[in-house]
């Protein structure tokens, strides 16, 4: 199907431009007339229905959180979904966002299910979005589901903003440290080295080491470019295979600071997702499948690969998740309590909030430790450089 754009007139004589999903121009005219619209001018084919071009994925042309933020209060006010989408369409200032919502509304006019329309736009919407809406359609509680999605997306954005804010200063410190070190060994030390070498006197061992490091950095700069290019090519080759991605993700988890952040963020996202799904009556097997899909780290995702099989074999969720080394024991204990009380979704929500709170504290501590460590490393390198120059000057002044 494609989107056909027309200038139309409604029964009241009001002119407007509209795009409609159809198999052909003839089919689009029939669909327009069935909706009480008179086509006045055919403008052209806009794009394939609900297809997202690769270039559009790199543009910030549609915010799921903004869309959900507008949809949530309308549905909570008992406004019909089609009418709510019309209000949202009219409220969008940017054409890209307005077009996405207009496509969803047109799909409803064609008799399609809202969750399926969202699923066809999945590159823009997270995987759990359509599944939760589908559960809401079956249970008749779409407003409640959208409210849950709004909370989930808001919490996710707050967590992302928290990580970005906490990372700004360490990145600046690390960047400044790198450039200071490069300047020391490529500009400062070579100038002193030339002066000392002209004197023709034996230099202290520390001074020789500093000069050799400087020579390697300045005289073999082409080698560093080749190594960087080789590293990029190797990374592309490794990431092109599934086993290579798993190997990289596994080693990322072993890295100091970064590994802890990746693990805690991914596990928290997993726990929060299955909590929301279970609270909205999504079957447990579907819940685990959706939860695994939202995990970014493939090594962590693979650790949950047997959970579905364990559940089908009669195991409880707590026992199945316990076999993954990434789920905290405290969360497992809470899961057991939820299974005994029958409030698994509520207990998992509490576990996710507790895990997120502890995660923020841990990340703050790690970043607070990271900054002085980097500064101490920079100070140690500067001290070695200054000391090597001082020892050389001292040696030159000896009779």
Can you list the pairs that 49-56 forms with residues at least 24 positions away whose Cβ atoms lie under 8 Å? 49/1, 49/2, 49/3, 49/21, 49/103, 49/120, 50/103, 50/107, 50/117, 50/120, 50/121, 52/121, 52/123, 52/124, 56/96
pLDDT value of position 61? 63
Taking each helix axis from N to C end, the angle separating 189-199 and 344-396, rounded to the nearest 10 degrees, works out to: 30
Give the mean model confidence (pLDDT) for residues 145-162.
82
Task: Find how far residue 16's CA is from the centre of its chain.
Answer: 38
pLDDT value of position 55? 42
pLDDT value of position 297? 85
Residue bearing the bigger pLDDT, 113 or 296: 113
pLDDT > 70? residue 89: yes
348-399 pLDDT tens trace = 878 777 877 877 787 777 777 777 887 888 888 888 878 877 777 777 666 4
- 396, 203 in Cβ contact below 8 A? no
Helix (H) or strand (E) holding 11: none
16-42 pLDDT tens trace = 777 776 666 777 787 777 777 788 877
The residues pairing with 2 across neighbouring beta strands, listed in sequence order, are 22, 48
How many residues are present in the chain? Answer: 399
pLDDT > 60? residue 57: no
pLDDT > 60? residue 52: no
183-208 pLDDT tens trace = 878 877 777 777 776 666 666 777 77
143 burial level (CB within 10 Å; 0-12, 13-18, 19+): buried
> Which of 220, 215, 171 has the alpha carbon at shortest distance from 197?
215
> Which of 185, 46, 173, 39 has the alpha carbon at shortest distance from 103?
46
Rounded distance, CA 163 to CA 168, Å? Answer: 9
How large is the C-alpha radius of gyration of the chain?
30
Q: Give the CA distances from residue 96 to residues 8, 52, 116, 263, 280, in Å, rounded to whole numbers and listed in that order.
A: 21, 12, 20, 35, 31
Top CATH class of 156-399 equals mainly alpha
Contacting residues for 300 by C-beta, under 8 A, at least 6 apart:
249, 253, 263, 266, 267, 270, 324, 326
- 290, 316 in Cβ contact below 8 A? no
Contacting residues for 397 by C-beta, under 8 A, at least 6 apart:
none
Q: What is the rounded average pLDDT for all residues in the chain?
A: 79
pLDDT value of position 138? 75
Burial readout 362-376 (b: 16 or more C-beta within 10 A, e: otherwise): ebeebbeebeeebee
């Amino acid at each position: 199907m494609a989107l056909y754009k027309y200038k139309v007139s409604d029964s009241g004589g009001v002119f407007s431009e509209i795009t409609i999903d159809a198999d052909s121009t003839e089919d689009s005219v029939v669909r327009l007339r069935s909706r009480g619209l008179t086509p006045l001018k055919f403008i052209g084919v806009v794009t394939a229905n609900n297809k997202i071009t690769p270039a559009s994925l790199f543009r910030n042309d549609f915010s799921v959180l903004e869309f959900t933020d507008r949809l949530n209060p309308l549905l909570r006010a008992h406004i019909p979904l089609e009418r709510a989408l019309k209000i949202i369409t009219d409220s969008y200032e940017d054409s890209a966002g307005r077009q996405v919502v207009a496509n969803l509304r047109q799909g409803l006019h064609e008799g399609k299910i809202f969750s399926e329309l969202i699923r066809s736009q999945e590159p823009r919407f997270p995987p759990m979005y359509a599944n939760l809406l589908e559960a809401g359609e079956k249970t008749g509680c779409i407003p409640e589901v959208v409210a849950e999605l709004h909370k989930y997306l808001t919490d996710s954005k707050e967590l992302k903003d928290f990580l970005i804010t906490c990372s700004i200063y360490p990145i600046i410190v690390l960047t400044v440290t790198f450039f200071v070190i490069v300047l020391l060994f490529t500009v400062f030390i070579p100038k002193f080295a030339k002066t000392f070498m002209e004197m023709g006197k034996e230099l202290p061992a520390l001074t020789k080491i500093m000069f050799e490091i400087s020579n390697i950095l300045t005289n073999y700069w082409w080698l560093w470019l080749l190594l960087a290019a080789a590293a990029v090519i190797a990374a592309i080759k490794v990431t092109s295979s599934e086993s290579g991605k798993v190997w990289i993700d596994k080693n990322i988890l072993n890295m100091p600071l970064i590994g802890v952040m990746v693990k805690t963020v991914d596990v928290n996202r997993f726990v929060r997702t299955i909590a929301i799904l279970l609270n909205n009556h999504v079957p447990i097997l579907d819940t685990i499948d959706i939860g695994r899909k939202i995990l970014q780290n493939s090594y962590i995702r693979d650790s949950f690969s047997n959970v579905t099989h364990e559940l089908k074999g009669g195991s409880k969720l707590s026992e199945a998740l316990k076999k993954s080394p990434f789920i905290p024991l405290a969360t497992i204990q809470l899961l057991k309590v939820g299974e005994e009380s029958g409030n698994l979704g509520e207990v998992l929500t509490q576990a996710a909030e507790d895990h997120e709170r502890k995660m923020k504290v841990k990340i703050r501590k790690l970043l607070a430790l990271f900054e002085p460590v980097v500064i101490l490393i920079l100070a140690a390198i500067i001290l070695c450089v200054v000391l090597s120059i001082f020892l050389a000057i001292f040696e030159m002044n000896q009779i």
